[in-house]
Amino acid sequence: MTHLMNTYARLPVAFAHGEGVWLTDEAGNRYLDALAGIAVSTLGHAHPRLAEAICAQAKKVLHTSNLYRIPAQEALAERLCALSAMEEVFFANSGAEANEGAIKLARLYGHRRGIARPKIVVMEQAFHGRTLAALSATGNVKAQQGFEPLVEGFVRVPFGDLTALTAALADSDVVAVLFEVIQGEGGIRLAAPEVVRAIREITAARGVLMMCDEVQCGVGRTGHWFGWQWAAAALGVAPEALAPDVMTLAKGLGSGVPLGALLARGPAAGVFGPGNHGSTFGGNPLACVAGLTTLAVIEEEGLLANAAARGAQLKNALQQAFADLPAVQEVRGEGLMIGVVLDRPCGALVRTALEEARLLINVTAERVIRLLPPLVISEAETEEIAARLVPLVRRFVRGGE
């Protein structure tokens, strides 16, 4: 019996400790983590440098409130802006909270331009969080059901449909376009780099904010610091050419310590002033030390390059292994953000992988196996993910699950 509210369909396992990409349950069984807490555990489990930094900070001060200066917060903001060409940062606790802040910022931006009822263009199959405004922006009707009335002011268009986007932007009340360069919950769906460039050009020309939700695809997961930088690299243009006006981060930023961020530049910078937004816990000393350490380790251990190399290795291995299996329609993704698309719902595979292969995976969009291993994964461990997953999928599609 549990007194926990019944909001999760939990799997019957509890982990006692971890190391790198491995987790050990209470009975001593060892699991290969190909999910990283849904893209959170960037540095894997119990990374010694992160553990040391967190412990050292805990012995000094955990929380002081944003009523006062927080040096670690200032340092993290400076580092994030240096990596992204953004200008200012607001720290929150989660991705939903960061996106909530982005929505508020866009509305205030619109009001200051005399728009009484500002609108934000969002994409089908997007996922921006479960707070009420973030849920309203989300393109998942199933997640929204039962929570109506939703927050108004969102105009939804098909993901990657520039014709529909252009038509939506004809509405003079539109103040921003919010989208994920790579949709995570939507099934590891990549926006074509040309689409990202077009959105940048259209929004700039019309004085509309381009807002990138990098909650899942940011912080190195694509092999670049941020998803829009991946798109710029794919186009062979300078990253600044695609820099958004607003960017949100969370998940991997604290490598397990709750930390979200809302970044702004250009026309979006300076929109918020004292009293416009706030967070009790957001950006406290402990969380910001975790963020600083995460970014430092990614850089010093070459984890961007590792994410690109290991992601290519895993994608290639799975593409080859499933080449003769029509039920596997596609293996897609970038860096260590990979989706295996089946022709049928495959949620049952999550428990099978857990119990039979000691492999942690996830299924999203009903029929996409989602793989998001920690960025510290080795070549041998990447090979092991494929070795454990491939026979499970083969048996599943042949009806033996």
Per-residue pLDDT, averaged over 9-18, amounts to: 96
Of the residues 33, 159, 179, 213, only one is catalytic, namely: 213
The answer on whether 213 is annotated among ligand-binding residues is: yes
Residues 17-41: tens digit of each pLDDT: 999 999 999 999 999 999 999 999 9
| pLDDT of the residue at 17 | 98
Of the residues 159, 179, 245, 251, only one is catalytic, namely: 251
Residues 167-211: tens digit of each pLDDT: 999 999 999 999 999 999 999 999 999 999 999 999 999 999 999
The answer on whether 95 is annotated among ligand-binding residues is: yes
Task: Please give the DSSP secondary-structure letter assigned to residue 20.
Answer: B
For the chain, give every domain's residue range.
15-33+302-399, 49-301
Look at residue 1 and tell me whether its pLDDT is greater than 80. Answer: no
Look at residue 401 and tell me whether its pLDDT is greater than 60. Answer: no
Catalytic-residue membership of 213: yes
Per-residue pLDDT, averaged over 80-93, amounts to: 98
Beta 246-249 vs 362-364: how paired, if at all?
unpaired
Residues 136-146: tens digit of each pLDDT: 999 988 999 99
The answer on whether 148 is annotated among ligand-binding residues is: no
Catalytic-residue membership of 142: no
| pLDDT of the residue at 147 | 96
The answer on whether 280 is annotated among ligand-binding residues is: yes
Query: Please, which pLDDT band fits residue 2 given cuts at 50, 70 and 90?
Result: confident
Residues 250-293: tens digit of each pLDDT: 999 999 999 999 999 999 999 999 999 999 999 999 999 999 99
| pLDDT of the residue at 237 | 97
What are the two backbone dihedrals, phi and then psi, of residue 51, each rounded to the nearest 5 degrees? -60, -40
| pLDDT of the residue at 307 | 98
Domain 15-33+302-399 CATH class label? alpha beta
| pLDDT of the residue at 400 | 60
Residues 286-334: tens digit of each pLDDT: 999 999 999 999 999 999 999 999 999 999 999 999 999 999 999 999 9
Look at residue 83 and tell me whether its pLDDT is greater than 90. Answer: yes
Per-residue pLDDT, averaged over 64-81, amounts to: 97
Q: What is the DSSP string of 254-280?
A: TTTS--EEEEE-GGGTT---TTS---S
On whether the CB atoms of residues 193 and 232 are closer than 8 A, the answer is yes
Bond into 345 cis (ω within 30): no
The answer on whether 127 is annotated among ligand-binding residues is: yes
Of the residues 90, 91, 127, 322, only one is catalytic, namely: 127
Domain 49-301 CATH class label? alpha beta
The answer on whether 163 is annotated among ligand-binding residues is: no
On whether the CB atoms of residues 261 and 270 are closer than 8 A, the answer is no
On whether the CB atoms of residues 360 and 35 are closer than 8 A, the answer is yes
Query: Please, which pLDDT band fits residue 399 given cuts at 50, 70 and 90?
Result: confident
The answer on whether 281 is annotated among ligand-binding residues is: no
Residues 341-359: tens digit of each pLDDT: 999 999 999 999 999 999 9
Catalytic-residue membership of 315: no
pTM over 0.75: yes
The answer on whether 25 is annotated among ligand-binding residues is: no
